[in-house]
Amino acid sequence: MSQDKTILVVGTYDTKDDELTYLCDCIRGQGGHALSMDISVLGDPSDPTDYSKHDVAGEGGSSIDEAINSGDENTAMQVMARGGAALALRLYREGKIHGVVVLGGTMGTDVALDICQALPLGVPKYVVSTVSFSHLLPPERLAADIQMILWAGGLYGLNSVCKSSLSQAAGAVLGAARAVEPPARDKPLIGMTSFGKTILHYMVTLKPALEERGFEVAVFHATGMGGRAFESLAAEGAFACVMDFATQEVGNHLMGGLSAGADRLTNAGQSATPQIVAPACYDLVDFVGWKPLPGRMADKPAHDHNRLLKSVVLNSDERREVARVHAEKLATAKGPTTFLMPKGGCNEWDRPGADLHDAAGLAAFTDELEKTLPENVDYIALDCHINDPGFSAKVLEVFDRWVENGTIKT
C-alpha cells in the first residue's frame, strides 16, 4: 500500500479526542499518514497534536488568549477558522499534506467551511458533520469540490454507528488523495459557462474548435455551485480566456434564486483575464423545484425543468434590472472585455414560437444593456440566436484576433 499521502485531520480535540484519534488510526491503518490539527479553544487533548491550538491561532495572527478573552464563542471560533485556513493552505503549499478531513458539529463545520475554501480546487477535502447537507450551510461558503458525510450518531463519543461514518470518511479522503489527477495546466485553459444541450449548445461547436487551436476547454454548469467553481478559478487567474456565456446566476442572485455568490461575473475582470461575455438565460431565475416559489415569483410563468429545478420567467422591468447589474459588474473589469448580444434570443426556449419567448422582454434587456454598458466593454450586437452558427463564429473571430495580437497568451 502506498505510504506517500498525508491527510490533515482537523477538529476540536478537547471534546472529540476519541473520534479524531479514530480517524487518524483509520488513515494510518490503510497505509496513509495523518497529521492532527487542534481547533479547540478552552480544553486540551489527551496527547499533543501535530499542530496545537496555539499554532492555529498564531497562524491567523491571533492567540488563544485573545480568543478566550473575547468572551464570545462565535468570535473565538472565527479566530480558529482564520488560523486553520491559513495553516492548512501553508501546509499544502509546502507539500506536507495531500488532503484534509474535518470533523465537527455546527462549530467545527463553521470552521471546516473556511478551511476547505482556502484549499485549491483538486485538493481532496472532506467534512464529517452532524449538519451535512443542511440548509444551515449557505452555498457561497461551500468549496467547489467539497465532500460531506453525515456524522450519524456521533454527537458524543464513539459507537458502532458513528464509526461507520468516520471509517468511510477516512477511506474516502485517503483514496481521493491517492487517485486525484491535479489539473495539468500544460495547455492554456479556457473557462466557459453553459447549461445542458437541450437549452444551449454553442459549446458543441466551440469546444473542438478551441481544442484544435491548442487550448483546453472546461465547461461549467452554471447552476450555483458550477458558477462558484468557475469564479474561484477565475479569481486565481487560472484561465487564459473566459467565455462566460451563461450569466443567469447574476439574475439568480439578484432575484433570490440559486446563487453562485455576490461576486459572480467579477473575478475574471478583477484578475484582468480576457473575457467574452453573453447573457444566456438572463431572462430566467432558477429555484428549487420541490419548494414553493417565493412570494414575488409565485404568479409568474415558470418552466419545470425537472423535479429538482424550476425556472421562473422575468418581466421586462426585471430584465432591465438584470441588465444594469451586468453593466455594473463588468465596469470593474481590468482586462479586455467583449459583450456579445444575440438579438434573436438567449436560450432554446427563447425563440419566436417557443414557450418562453418574450420579444418585448428581450428588447427591454437589450435596450437597457446598450444604455448602461461602460466604455471599457466592447459591445457587439448579433442578428442571430445564441445557439445559431453565427454566434459561435463571432466568438471565434474575437478569440482569434486576441490570440493574434497577444491579448490571449498561448
- Dihedral sign, Cα of residue 244, residue 245, residue 246, residue 247: positive
Give a yes or no: residue 281 inside a domain: yes
Give a yes or no: residue 410 inside a domain: no
| pLDDT one-digit tens code per residue, 51-75 | 999 999 999 999 999 999 988 889 9
d(CA 222, CA 202): 14
| pLDDT one-digit tens code per residue, 361-392 | 999 999 999 999 999 999 999 999 999 999 99
Give a yes or no: residue 204 inside a domain: yes
pLDDT score, position 139: 77
Q: Are residues 160 and 269 in the same domain?
A: no
pLDDT score, position 135: 81
Give a yes or no: residue 237 inside a domain: yes
* pLDDT at position 277 over 90: yes
Q: Are residues 160 and 200 in the same domain?
A: no
d(CA 399, CA 393): 10
End-to-end Cα, the chain, rounded Å: 40
pLDDT score, position 1: 43
How many domains are contained in the chain?
A: 2
Give me the domain span that covers residue 90.
6-179
Banded model confidence at residue 8, pLDDT cuts 50, 70, 90: very high
Q: Are residues 143 and 228 in the same domain?
A: no
Give a yes or no: residue 161 inside a domain: yes
Q: Are residues 229 and 124 in the same domain?
A: no
Domain end (from 121, 148, 179): 179
Q: Are residues 169 and 196 in the same domain?
A: no
Q: What is the mean pLDDT of residues 161-177?
A: 95
Give a yes or no: residue 409 inside a domain: no
Q: Are residues 216 and 84 in the same domain?
A: no
Percent of the chain with pLDDT over 70: 99
Domain end (from 179, 208, 223): 179
Give a yes or no: residue 295 inside a domain: yes
Give a yes or no: residue 168 inside a domain: yes
Q: Are residues 209 and 125 in the same domain?
A: no
Q: What is the mean pLDDT of residues 297-325?
A: 92
Q: Are residues 167 and 200 in the same domain?
A: no
**CATH number of domain containing 50:** 3.40.50.12020
Q: Are residues 85 and 58 in the same domain?
A: yes
Q: What is the mean pLDDT of residues 231-241?
A: 93
Query: Average pLDDT, whole number, for the chain?
Result: 93
pLDDT score, position 76: 93
Q: Are residues 36 and 136 in the same domain?
A: yes
Banded model confidence at residue 146, pLDDT cuts 50, 70, 90: very high
Banded model confidence at residue 232, pLDDT cuts 50, 70, 90: confident
Q: Are residues 93 and 153 in the same domain?
A: yes
Of 164-168, 224-228, 318-322, 395-399, least confident by mean pLDDT is 224-228
Q: Are residues 15 and 159 in the same domain?
A: yes
| pLDDT one-digit tens code per residue, 70-95 | 888 899 999 999 999 999 999 999 99
pLDDT score, position 3: 56
| SS3 track for the chain | CCCCCEEEEEECCCCCHHHHHHHHHHHHHCCCEEEEEECCCCCCCCCCCCECHHHHHHHCCCCHHHHHHCCCHHHHHHHHHHHHHHHHHHHHHCCCCCEEEEEECHHHHHHHHHHHHHCCCCCCEEEEECCCCCCCCCHHHCCCCCEEEECCCCCCCCCHHHHHHHHHHHHHHHHHHHHCCCCCCCCCEEEEEECCCCCCCHHHHHHHHHHHCCCEEEEEECCCHHHHHHHHHHHCCCCCEEEECECHHHHHHHHCCCCCCCCCCCHHHHCCCCEEECECCCCEEEEECCCCCCHHHCCCCEEECCCCEEEEECCHHHHHHHHHHHHHHHCCCCCCEEEEEECCCCCCCCCCCCCCCCHHHHHHHHHHHHHHCCCCEEEEEECCCCCCHHHHHHHHHHHHHHHHCCCCCC
pLDDT score, position 288: 87
Domain end (from 130, 155, 179): 179
